[in-house]
């Protein structure tokens, strides 16, 4: 079959090794469920009749779905890649397919929305990933039948592989294939190794996640920011409110500062943040989403050096190991080379102190401010492992999150422990026994 978008990608090929350098991306959840405004699982959660759900196609005009605007928003937000839901668990395809009429091409819009997104992403210099659910609630036999009947299982698995093959043949090259919806099977049940081999026989350089039961090239913690241990490339998948698909009753939007917190957490452990956008049924993006993303994008223009191209700067609760970071009550910290970045989410006032530094601080300045600015006339005094910084302004000099860059005489190391000095004998950094405490 002919490729829908055969143009080469306008950037260096992505590899598992470079994936975690992307740092920040957008995932878009859009489909028939967006018309209902009750989240992307409405079909399953509400046990909606399948024919009733299929009838939503006549209302799916997508008149305000604008791939160019979505990609411009991603770039304005400071994002480097975009993942698009080509098909969620409801089985509705947002692309032209030879295997079903349950698609956007046969809906009221008569559009190949995936092709529009892939084209726009390439034009705007974004790496592009295609999300695709393995399970499918609409097509028959479904996952339930596949569990109960061997013949249905064979048909179900064959069609799943067939869909994936068609997708990566129609859209080539793409950078990431993002599996999801892996109920009800494990890797053996999904024939995941054959699945990956098939995908890579068509696009050898593609990066895949681990949601078909195999580890894949990167991990995808969802709803939390914990890197895998032992470390491997990873991406934290987070909503901007409390839903992936548009929910008309969910107005609990994260603030720009909270998004900065998430960015700092993934940056400190060399991971990515994949942040969700859920357009309304007509394809328009809720204004709070735009406001938050654009605000964070402006902050990244001022302070992005503390987020991108950072080194790992983490700490452990029970073992120091190879960790060289710690935590602080004013906000998160990141590091790059000889620079330690303090993201002052909670403003300390005109003076602050930092204990536990095992390096000499040479200079201190705020990112995003000219060197001549009054707020950058700072006094530093360092004795033993305590650094005092004086001359801070009474109010934070950045509306989202001030970032103080400390230039050190070597790569920074911070080690405090739970005592007033670091013990000279073996000791846990914090927890002497297993605990259920979460930490970044």
What confidence tens digit (pLDDT) does each residue in 151-184 have?
999 999 999 999 999 999 999 999 999 999 999 9
Angle at alpha carbon of residue 384, lines to 378 and 386, rounded to 5°: 45
Flag whether pLDDT at 6 surpasses 50: no
Lowest mean pLDDT across 170-179, 243-252, 260-269, 372-381: 372-381
C-alpha Rg value of the chain to the nearest Å: 24
At 318 the pLDDT is 86
**What confidence score (pLDDT) does residue 4 get?**
58
CATH architecture of 16-306: Alpha-Beta Barrel (3.20)
Q: pLDDT tens, 134-160?
A: 999 999 999 999 999 999 999 999 999
Q: Residue 322's pLDDT is what?
A: 85
User: What is the pLDDT at residue 431?
Assistant: 87
Which helix (H) or strand (E) segment is 351 a member of? strand 351-355
pLDDT per residue as tens digits for the range 58-93: 999 999 999 999 999 999 999 999 999 999 999 999
Looking at residue 434, its pLDDT comes to: 87
Most confident listed range (3-12, 95-104, 417-426): 95-104
Task: Give how far the C-alpha of residue 215 lies from the chain's centroid of Cα atoms, to the nearest Å.
Answer: 18
Q: Residue 339 — very low, low, confident or very high, per pLDDT cuts 50/70/90?
A: very high
Q: What is the pLDDT of residue 321?
A: 85
Q: Where in the chain is the domain with CATH 3.20.20.80?
A: 16-306
Write phi, then psi, for 153 (nearest 5 degrees): -60, -45
How many other C-beta atoms are found inside a 10 Å radius of the C-beta of residue 324? Answer: 18
- pLDDT over 80 (residue 109): yes
8 Å CB contact between 22 and 74: no
Q: Would you state the pLDDT for residue 439?
A: 64
Mean pLDDT of 110-121: 98
- pLDDT mean over 187-215: 98
pLDDT of residue 10: 62
pLDDT band at 274 (very low <50, low <70, confident <90, very high): very high
H or E stretch covering 74: helix 67-76
Q: Residue 2 — very low, low, confident or very high, per pLDDT cuts 50/70/90?
A: low
| H-only helix segments in 149-281 | 150-170, 187-190, 192-202, 256-268
pLDDT of residue 114: 98
What local confidence, expressed as pLDDT, does residue 320 receive? 85
pLDDT of residue 376: 78
**CA pair distance 58, 32, nearest whole angstrom:** 10
Average pLDDT of the chain? 95
Can you tell me the mean pLDDT for 369-376? Answer: 73
């Amino acid at each position: 079959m002919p490729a829908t978008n055969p143009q080469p990608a306008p950037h260096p090929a992505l590899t598992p090794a470079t994936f975690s350098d992307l740092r920040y991306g957008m995932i878009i959840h859009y489909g028939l469920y967006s018309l209902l405004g009750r989240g992307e699982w409405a079909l399953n959660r509400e046990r909606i009749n399948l024919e009733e759900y299929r009838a939503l196609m006549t209302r799916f005009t997508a008149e305000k779905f604008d791939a160019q605007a979505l990609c411009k928003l991603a770039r304005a937000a400071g994002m480097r890649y975009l993942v698009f839901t080509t098909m969620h668990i409801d089985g509705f395809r947002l692309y032209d397919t030879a295997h079903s009429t349950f698609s956007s091409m046969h809906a009221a819009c008569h559009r190949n929305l995936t092709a529009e997104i892939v084209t726009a992403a390439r034009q705007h210099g974004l790496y592009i990933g295609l999300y695709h659910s393995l399970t499918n609630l609409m097509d028959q036999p479904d996952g339930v039948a596949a569990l109960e009947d061997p013949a249905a299982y064979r048909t179900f698995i064959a069609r799943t592989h067939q869909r994936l093959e068609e997708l990566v043949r129609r859209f080539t090259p793409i950078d990431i294939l993002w599996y999801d919806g892996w109920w009800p099977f494990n890797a053996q049940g999904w024939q995941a190794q054959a699945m990956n081999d098939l995908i890579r026989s068509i696009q050898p350089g593609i990066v895949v996640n681990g949601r078909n039961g195999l580890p894949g090239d990167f991990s995808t913690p969802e709803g939390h920011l914990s890197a895998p241990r032992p470390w491997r490339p990873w991406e934290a998948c987070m909503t901007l409110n409390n839903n992936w698909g548009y929910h008309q009753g969910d107005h609990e939007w994260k603030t720009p500062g909270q998004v900065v917190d998430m960015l700092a957490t993934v940056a400190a452990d060399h991971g990515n943040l994949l942040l969700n956008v859920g357009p309304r049924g007509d394809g328009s993006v809720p204004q709070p989403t735009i406001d938050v993303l654009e605000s964070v994008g402006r902050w990244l223009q001022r302070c992005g050096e503390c987020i991108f191209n950072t080194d790992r700067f983490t700490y452990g609760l029970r073992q120091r190991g190879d960790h060289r970071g710690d935590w602080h009550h004013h906000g998160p910290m990141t590091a790059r080379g000889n620079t330690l970045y303090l993201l002052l989410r909670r403003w300390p006032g005109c003076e602050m102190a930092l204990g536990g530094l095992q390096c000499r601080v040479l200079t201190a300045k705020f990112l995003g401010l000219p060197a001549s600015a009054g707020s950058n006339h700072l006094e530093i005094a360092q004795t033993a492992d305590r650094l005092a910084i004086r001359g801070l302004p009474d109010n934070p000099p950045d509306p989202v999150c001030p970032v103080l860059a400390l230039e050190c005489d070597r790569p920074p190391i911070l080690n405090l422990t739970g005592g007033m000095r670091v013990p000279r004998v073996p000791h846990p950094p914090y927890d002497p026994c297993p605990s259920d405490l979460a930490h970044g």
